[in-house]
Amino acid sequence: MAPEQWARLKQGEDCCLCADIHLDVNEFSFRVAELEWSYVRLARNQYRRGWPLVALKRHACELFELSDSESDGFWRELAAVARPWITCTSRRR
């Protein structure tokens, strides 16, 4: 990938994930829930069946790019999704 293209992607320009992460259904996944900071999705072609994707609503390449409130909110939502999801799907880590 050309350095210029990578720089644009890092800034959120032409980011394919950001372009359709908010849709109910996109080419790759189905939206299960919209939370304050994130979307919960299930992939169409799952490597591990039943495992959700929790994606931040805004573009960020690294967790350290998040403000304290975004980071706190995202991790709270991730934990809130994981707990019942694992119980419901009988998944253990």
Average pLDDT by stretches of 10, the chain with 93 residues = 88 87 94 96 84 92 94 96 78 50
Could you give the CA distance from residue 42 to residue 51 in angstroms, rounded to a whole number? 7
The pLDDT, as a whole number, for residue 90 is: 65
The pLDDT, as a whole number, for residue 91 is: 53
Contact 40, 87 (CB under 8 A): no
Six token digits for residue 11: 């800034």
Strand boundaries in 1-93, DSSP class E: 29-34, 38-43, 52-56
Contact 45, 65 (CB under 8 A): no
The pLDDT, as a whole number, for residue 11 is: 87
The pLDDT, as a whole number, for residue 93 is: 47
The pLDDT, as a whole number, for residue 40 is: 96
Q: Which residues pair with 29 in a beta bridge?
A: 43
The pLDDT, as a whole number, for residue 59 is: 94
The pTM score is 0.82
Six token digits for residue 6: 């990578």
